[in-house]
Amino acid sequence: MKSNSATPASGATFNISRRRFFQSGAALAALAAFPTLGADALDLINDRPKRVGLIGAGWYGKSDLWRLLQVAPVEVVSICDVDQHQLAGAVEMASQRQKSGKKPRGYADFRAMLKEKDLDIVLVGSPDHWHALLAIAAMESGADVYCQKPISADVLEGEAMLATARKLQRVVQVGTQRRSTPHWIAAKKQIVDAGLLGKVGLVEMCCYYPMRSNENRPLQPVPDFLDFEMWTGPAPLRPYEGLPHRGWWRGFMEYGNGIVGDMCVHMFDGARWLLDLGWPKRVSSAGGIFVQKEGRSNIADTQTAIFEYDGFNAVWQHRTWGTAPDPDYPWALFIHGDKGTLKISTMRADFIPVDRSANPIHLDCVYEREQFPQDLTEKDIELNAAPATRRHMLDFFAAIAKRTRPVADIEQGHISTASCILANLSMQVGRTLNYDPAQRLVVGDAEATSLLRRPYRAAWRHPEAG
C-alpha cells in the first residue's frame, strides 16, 4: 500500500520579507513551516505592521486572531464584543501575544470601532446573523476583511457583500479553510488534478456529529455584562435563555442556517474547489426535526440536500442523532469517479482505486506541534485546523500585498453560502429552486424569491447590492 504524507503547502506563491517581519521566534517558525512560500519576495510590511481589529471575540474569533498573530506582521489595535467579559479577556490575551505588548482598545459597538478608520484588516468572528452588516461596514471603513463562514444569513446579504467588495476593491477572505488544508491541497494535486478519479458521477457530503442542542433552558434575566439587544442586532429578539456563546445560538434559525449553513458549507465549498465548480443548476432539500423533538432548538436534526451539476449531483446528508455509516469519516466528502473514490475529511484522506492492482493513497492531517508549540497549551484550539488557518491567513496577506483575490474570495464564499441557504429554502417551500445570481431571483418562483431576504428588526437596515 502506498502511503503519502501531505507536505506543508499553500494555495498561493508567497514570500515573507525577512527584513522586518516580526523579528521573533514565531516568524522563524512560520518561515520553516511554509517552505513553499519563498518565491516572490513580497514585502508585506512596508513601513509598519498591518493594523488589525476583531469583531466578535468568542471562541473562533479569537482563534482566527491568534493564528494571524502567529504568522503575520500585525498590530492588534482594537477588539469589539458585546460581552464585557469576553472583551476583557480577549484584550488581555492580545496584549500578551503581540510583539508590542500593547493592549488593544476595547469597544462594545462596532460602529464606534470602525469610525476611527485606522484599521487595515478587520476579522469578523461574530455569530452568522451579523456577518454581512459587519463585513460591509468594515469594507466601507477602508479595511480588507477576513470573514468567517457562512458569509451571510440570507442570499441577498451575500450579494451585497460581494458587490461592496468589488465596488470598493477590498480583499475579502472567507473562513472556508479547507482550500488551505495541507492534505486537501495534496489530494487535489495528487488525485483530482492528476485524473485518478476518472469521470466523476456522484459527490456525497455528510455530517453525523451530535451537535444539535436539545436542552430546554429556563428563561433568565440578561446579565449586566452582556448587551443582548446588540448581540441580537437585525435578527428576531428571542427570550434570553442564558449566554448564547459556543454554539447555543446555532440551534436556532433566527441566528444561522442550521447544520447545512454551519457544516455543509465547508464540505460543499471544498467539493467546489476540488472540482472547479460554480453555481449549482438547481437545489432541492428535504428534512426536519424527526427524532430530537424534546428541546427548543428549531434547526433540522435530519436533512438531505441535492446540488445539481451537469453530469452529477452533489448530495448532502446530516443527522444529529444515531451513528455515522463510516466511523472514520463522520464529517466528510466523498467524490466517486469511474476509476476510484476519494474520501476526505478534516483529519485524513483516502483514494480507493477501482483497479485492485493500482496503489491506494492515504493522506494524513498535518500538525505543526514542533513549529508552533504554543498550540499544545492553547485552550479550545482545533489542532487539526490550526495549520489550515495559518495558511489561509498567509494567502489572505499575499492577496492584500498584490491586491488580488485570495483562495477563498468573497465570491466563492457567497456561492457556497447561498447554495446552502437555498437548500434550506427548498426544504421550507417543498420544491426545487433555480437561483439566477444575475437577476438575484429564483426563476419562476415569486414565493421563494421573497425568501431570499430576511426581515430585519426596525433598528437595522438590510444591505442592498449595488
Query: Tell me, what's the pLDDT at 45?
Result: 39
Whether residue 4 is predicted with pLDDT greater than 70 in this model: the reply is no
Which DSSP symbol is given to 179? G
153-178 pLDDT, tens digit per residue, is 999 999 999 999 999 999 999 999 99
Query: Tell me, what's the pLDDT at 145?
Result: 98
Query: Tell me, what's the pLDDT at 421?
Result: 98
317-336 pLDDT, tens digit per residue, is 999 999 999 999 999 999 99
What domains are there in the chain, each with its CATH number? Answer: 2-179+387-409 (3.40.50.720), 182-217+243-367+412-450 (3.30.360.10)
Query: Tell me, what's the pLDDT at 37?
Result: 46
The CA distance from 420 to 316, in Å, is 10
Output the CA angle 140-146-147, nearest 5 degrees: 90
- 54 within 8 A of 76, measured Cβ to Cβ: yes
The model's confidence at residue 246, banded by pLDDT at 50, 70 and 90, is confident
What are φ and ψ of residue 410, in 5° steps?
A: -55, -35
Whether residue 22 is predicted with pLDDT greater than 90 in this model: the reply is no
Give the residue from 166, 158, 120, 175 showing the smallest Cα distance to 400.
Answer: 120
3-state secondary structure of 55: strand
Give the residue from 363, 394, 367, 364 showing the smallest Cα distance to 383.
Answer: 367
The model's confidence at residue 118, banded by pLDDT at 50, 70 and 90, is very high
Cβ-proximal residues to 170 (8 Å cutoff; 6+ apart), any chain: 139, 143, 144, 145, 164
40-89 pLDDT, tens digit per residue, is 334 543 447 999 999 999 999 999 999 999 999 999 999 999 999 999 99
The CA distance from 13 to 42, in Å, is 10
Over range 339-351, report the average pLDDT: 98
* Long-range CB contacts for residues 42-46, cutoff 8 Å, separation at least 24: 42/14, 42/15, 42/16, 42/17, 42/398, 42/401, 42/402, 43/17, 43/19, 43/401, 44/16, 44/17, 44/72, 44/73, 44/397, 44/400, 44/401, 45/17, 45/19, 45/20, 45/21, 45/73
Give the residue from 281, 313, 318, 286 showing the smallest Cα distance to 301.
Answer: 318
400-440 pLDDT, tens digit per residue, is 999 999 999 999 999 999 999 999 999 999 999 999 999 99
Over range 105-117, report the average pLDDT: 98
Amino acid at 408: A
The CA distance from 411 to 159, in Å, is 9
